[in-house]
Amino acid sequence: MSSFVVALDVGGTSMKGGLVSESGVVLLTERRPTPREEGPDAAVKAIREFISHLAASGDGIPSGVGLAVPGLVSENSAVYSANIGWRDVPAADFTALDVPVRLGHDVQTGGLAENVLGAGQGVDDFLFLPIGTGIAGALILRGEPYGGSAGWGGEIGHIPVFPDGEQCACGQFGCLETYASAASVGRRYSQRAGLSGVKAEEVVASDDPLAVEVWDEAVEALSLALATYTLLLDPSMIVLGGGLAEAGPALFDPVRTRLVKRLAFRDAPPLVPAALGVDAGMLGASLLGWRAAGRPDLGPGWTVNVRSAPLVS
Amino acid sequence: MSSFVVALDVGGTSMKGGLVSESGVVLLTERRPTPREEGPDAAVKAIREFISHLAASGDGIPSGVGLAVPGLVSENSAVYSANIGWRDVPAADFTALDVPVRLGHDVQTGGLAENVLGAGQGVDDFLFLPIGTGIAGALILRGEPYGGSAGWGGEIGHIPVFPDGEQCACGQFGCLETYASAASVGRRYSQRAGLSGVKAEEVVASDDPLAVEVWDEAVEALSLALATYTLLLDPSMIVLGGGLAEAGPALFDPVRTRLVKRLAFRDAPPLVPAALGVDAGMLGASLLGWRAAGRPDLGPGWTVNVRSAPLVS
């Protein structure tokens, strides 16, 4: 019998679960919706049921459970999530199984996976920046995710890149996220062009001058934020992920050029694409599960190929 | 015989040396000019002579030597300083004495002193920001100064707070330092008012509308930089030091108000004044000296009162 852990990446919309073996084989992945609108208790119950279901699909009893969740998180408690609405949920409440459980912050757990298994392998100090509906970063410092004094760090999506800029949904002005998230790029172009529901990838591909303008502002906002990060934290590299990173050279090339231009007295760190895609959170959760099981040594050396694993959704 | 270390804070203009006992008594402090214009070899020689002189003033042989130096630094080597001009000077070259030596980055060493002995005692995660002729910060993360992947971190003085702003002496545009350092505040007001050599403290105290405007821009630049730092790194507190912090409430009150206003979804960390003043670097160097001597336990519990120590200059 091969031992395995249950790994779960809990998002605001859906949950991605998996079983991951001791040697890093993704035995199974499966997706379920997050019943966010039914309140926090329903979400915890749905997570518990999903974990039991996943565990039952495995061969034997899991060695541990790892969960990546949004909001403020400690290893042993989901402290707070505005998105899901819970407060102070102990790790043990997330599973009916009598196995060790460990929690991690969603973006930081993705960063952990990119550090151990992905684009940041062997790199102790880097920024993992997934750009999706929103923007938050995982700061990997001295080889571990760093969340700040109370776990609220990494909010690079809300640093004021344009001090007199547009108001963000968060209430602040000129936030990176309000210019450069995938959702913002789509929204800002749609508004300017008098259209509705245009997607970021369409804006990136368009040669409509309004689209070029919106994309240019997104690139400028990103290069400002990355210049700031570089000057403050001197990373070895910056790993860009999330939906917007799928734009490839249309994103990387102009951001790199502007970042280099912004920095006068130091080199820019390399910008590299994330390696684990949407699986980063689940894979990071599997590392947490193995850590909970007393196997912090697992991870380095794994060859993960999640895309070929069965995805039931 | 009481044991002691030699501590030296090497600045671009002057060097501040001291002898510090095992119990944190500052036995002596003394200042000498840094012969920067005579080239790096002369600077190293002057440091060596100063250390020998300080050591000879003590009662016996020092247990160790600690130095705070500018630029890029490792524990064992002064790697590079644009200011002084040296490259790859081994720690042992700085002293003729056969005792253990440890180097530290000047601002980070000041941050270490504020962490162990000053305003950040018992605080694991904070920013130490001395605002003087220039601006650089020491990031204290998980209880230790953090310099980034290669030691170039902490350059908060050169983050682009106003993306389309004035060009900084560093070549970049809109840097915090070019608006908010003591030198910049004096320079910007002098230029606008058609005067020369006005000092920052005079600008702060003046009710000339041009002075009010320059000071307002400095405060705005600082609050933007501190909002960015807070969102990225979630510090427990921000410790402001250097000459400009002598402005007291004229600095702290408006920066605090604007910082709170900039942050919509999280609290602002407390802004507190540095406790060690111009002695932070020398005191931090003494901690490095004791660490070199195999006494990393020393520091916590010391009651330092440097201002009453004899200052020969």
Is the pLDDT at A313 greater than 60? The verdict is no
Chain B hits for A235, Cβ within 8 Å = 148-149
Confidence grade of residue B1 (pLDDT, cut at 50, 70, 90): very low
Is the pLDDT at A54 greater than 80? The verdict is yes
- For residue B44, the one-letter residue type is V
Chain A interface, best mutation among B129, B170, B228, B237, by max A CB count within 10 A: B228
Confidence grade of residue B304 (pLDDT, cut at 50, 70, 90): confident
Are B266 and B284 found together in one domain?
A: no
Examine residue A116 and state whether it is found in any structural domain, yes or no: no
pLDDT in tens, A160-193: 999 999 999 999 999 999 999 999 999 999 999 9
Are A267 and A287 found together in one domain?
A: no
Pairing of strands B72-74, B77-80: antiparallel
Q: What's the mean pLDDT in A272-301?
A: 96
Are A102 and A137 found together in one domain?
A: no
Is the pLDDT at A107 greater than 60? The verdict is yes
Are A245 and A289 found together in one domain?
A: no
Is the pLDDT at B165 greater than 60? The verdict is yes
Chain B hits for A168, Cβ within 8 Å = 264
Is the pLDDT at B2 greater than 70? The verdict is no
Are A130 and A256 found together in one domain?
A: yes
8 Å CB contact between B4 and B18: no
Are A133 and A231 found together in one domain?
A: yes
Strands, sheet with A138-141, edge to edge from the N-terminal-most edge strand: A144-146, A138-141, A126-130, A237-241, A271-273
Q: What's the mean pLDDT in B146-170?
A: 96
Examine residue A41 and state whether it is found in any structural domain, yes or no: yes
Is the pLDDT at B309 greater than 50? The verdict is no
Are B29 and B140 found together in one domain?
A: no
pLDDT in tens, A28-53: 999 999 998 999 999 999 999 999 99
Are A52 and A171 found together in one domain?
A: no
H or E element in which residue B199 lies: none
Range of lowest pLDDT (A65-69, A83-87, A247-251, B234-238) = A83-87
Number of C-alpha atoms within 13 angstroms, CB side, residue A206?
20
Are B157 and B59 found together in one domain?
A: no
Examine residue B129 and state whether it is found in any structural domain, yes or no: yes
Work out the mean pLDDT of chain B and round it to a whole number. Answer: 94
Shortest CA gap A138–chain B (Å)? 10
Are A268 and A287 found together in one domain?
A: no
Examine residue B85 and state whether it is found in any structural domain, yes or no: yes
One-character DSSP codes across chain A: ---EEEEEEE-SSEEEEEEEETT--EEEEEEEE--GGG-HHHHHHHHHHHHHHHHHHSSS--SEEEEEESSEEETTEEEE-TTT--EEEEGGGG-SSSS-EEEEEHHHHHHHHHHHTSTTTT-SSEEEEEBSSSB--EEEETTEEE--SSS----GGGSBSSTT-PBPTTS-BSBHHHHHSHHHHHHHHHHHHT-S---HHHHHH---HHHHHHHHHHHHHHHHHHHHHHHHH--SEEEEESGGGGGTHHHHHHHHHHHHHH-SSSPPPPEEE-SSGGGHHHHHHHHHHHHHTT-TT-STT----GGGS-EE-
Chain B hits for A164, Cβ within 8 Å = none
For residue A33, how many other CB atoms are within 10 A of its CB? 11
Are A269 and A283 found together in one domain?
A: no
Looking at residue A2, its pLDDT comes to: 64
Are B62 and B177 found together in one domain?
A: no
pLDDT in tens, A108-145: 999 999 999 999 999 999 999 999 999 999 999 999 99
The long-range contacts involving A174-177, CB below 8 angstroms and separated by at least 24 positions, are A176/A135, A176/A221, A176/A222, A176/A224, A176/A225, A177/A134, A177/A135
Looking at residue A108, its pLDDT comes to: 97
Nearest CA in chain B to A176: B228
Is the pLDDT at A79 greater than 80? The verdict is yes
Chain A hits for B139, Cβ within 8 Å = 232-233
Work out the mean pLDDT of chain A and round it to a whole number. Answer: 94
Q: What's the mean pLDDT in A226-249?
A: 96
Looking at residue B82, its pLDDT comes to: 87
What is the dihedral sign for C-alpha A299, A137, A228, B253? negative
Examine residue B190 and state whether it is found in any structural domain, yes or no: yes
Asked whether the beta carbons of residue B162 and residue A158 sit closer than 8 angstroms, the reply is no
Is the pLDDT at A1 greater than 70? The verdict is no
Q: For the domain that residue B46 is a member of, what is the CATH number?
A: 3.30.420.40
Nearest CB partner across the interface for B146, out of A141, A150, A266 = A141
Share of chain B above pLDDT 70, in %: 96
What is the dihedral sign for C-alpha A150, A286, A116, A230? negative
How many contacts does A have with B, using Cβ atoms within 8 A?
124
pLDDT in tens, B199-233: 999 999 999 999 999 999 999 999 999 999 999 99
For A36, the domain range is: 4-111+278-312
Per the structure, how many domains does chain A have? Answer: 2
Examine residue B116 and state whether it is found in any structural domain, yes or no: no
Shortest CA gap B131–chain A (Å)? 16
Looking at residue A57, its pLDDT comes to: 95
Examine residue B266 and state whether it is found in any structural domain, yes or no: yes
Q: What is the widest separation between alpha-carbon atoms in chain B?
A: 61
C-alpha–C-alpha distance, residues B158 and B177, integer Å: 6
Examine residue B287 and state whether it is found in any structural domain, yes or no: yes
C-alpha–C-alpha distance, residues B149 and A146, integer Å: 14
